[in-house]
Chain A
Amino acid sequence: MNTNVHDDYQLPVLQGTAKEFYDHCKAHDLRFQRCAKCKIFRHPPRPLCNKCYSMETEWAPVKGTGKVYCWTVPMAPIGKAWVSYMPYAAVVVELDEGPRLVTWVTGIPHDQLKVGMPVKVWYDDLTPEVTLAKFKPA
Chain B
Amino acid sequence: MADPKALRDKTCVVGIGETAYTRGTTKSPLQLSMEATMMAINDAGIKPSQIDGVVLPNGHNGGATAGDYAANLGIQDLAYTTAFPEMGGAQIVSALEGAVLALATGVCNYVLVPHCSYFYTGARARDLTANPSNALQAAEYIRDYYRPFGAGAPPQHYAWMAQRHMHLYGTTQEQLGAVAVAMRKHAQLHPNAIMRGKPMTMADYMASKWITWPYKLLDCSLETDGAGAFVMTTAERAKDLKHRPVYVSGVASGHPFPPHDIPNRPDILKIGLDFSAPRAYAMAGVKPADIDFAEIYDCFTGQAILQIESAGFCKKGEGGPFCENGNIELGGTLPVNTHGGLLSQAHNTSMNHVIEAVAQLRLGCGERQVKDAELGVVTGWGGHGHGSIAILRN
Contact = CB atoms under 8 A, between A and B. Distances in A.
Given A2-B122, A74-B156, A102-B146, 20 more contacts: A1-B24, A5-B124, A6-B126, A10-B143, A11-B148, A18-B145, A43-B261, A44-B261, A72-B214, A73-B210, A75-B212, A76-B209, A76-B210, A78-B152, A78-B153, A90-B156, A90-B212, A100-B264, A102-B149, A103-B149
Interface string A63-75: 0000001111111
B160 A71 contact: yes
Interface of A: 1-2, 4-6, 9-13, 18, 21, 42-44, 69-79, 82, 85, 88, 90, 92, 99-104, 110, 115, 130, 132
A16 to B, nearest CB: 9
21 contacts: A2-B121, A2-B123, A4-B123, A6-B126, A12-B143, A13-B144, A18-B144, A18-B145, A43-B264, A44-B141, A44-B144, A69-B164, A70-B163, A72-B160, A74-B151, A74-B156, A76-B210, A76-B211, A77-B150, A92-B160, A132-B148
Nearest to B128: A4
Interface of B: 24, 120-124, 126-127, 130, 140-141, 143-153, 155-156, 159-161, 163-164, 167, 209-215, 217, 261, 263-264, 268
A72 B163 CA distance: 7
A4 B144 contact: no
Contacts of A92: 160, 263
B268 A72 contact: no
Closest 9 CB pairs of A and B: A72-B159, A90-B151, A73-B213, A75-B210, A12-B144, A18-B144, A74-B212, A92-B263, A100-B263
Nearest to A98: B264
A44 B143 CA distance: 11
Given A6-B130, A10-B143, A69 B120 contact: no
Contacts of A74: 150-151, 156, 211-212
Nearest to B216: A75
Contacts of B156: 72, 74, 78, 90
B209 A70 contact: no
Contacts of A1: 24, 121
Nearest to A17: B144
A90 to B, nearest CB: 4
Nearest to A134: B149
- Counting chain B CB atoms within 10 Å of each CB, which of A90, A103, A130 scores highest? A90
Contacts of A9: 148
Contacts of B145: 12, 18, 43-44, 101-102
A72 B147 contact: no
Contacts of B148: 9-12, 130, 132
Given A12-B143, A75-B209, A69 B24 contact: no
Given A6-B130, A12-B143, A90 B149 contact: yes
Contact of B150 (A4, A5, A44, A90): A90
Given A2-B120, A99-B264, A10 B160 contact: no
Nearest to B159: A72
B151 to A, nearest CB: 4
A30 to B, nearest CB: 13
A82 B100 CA distance: 46
B126 A101 contact: no
Contacts of B159: 72
Contacts of B214: 72
Contacts of A18: 140, 144-145
- Counting chain A CB atoms within 10 Å of each CB, which of B150, B217, B264 scores highest? B150
Nearest to A69: B263
B264 A10 contact: no
Nearest to A94: B263
A100 B262 CA distance: 10
Given A4-B127, A70-B167, A73-B213, A78 B150 contact: yes
A43 B262 CA distance: 11
Contacts of A71: 160, 163
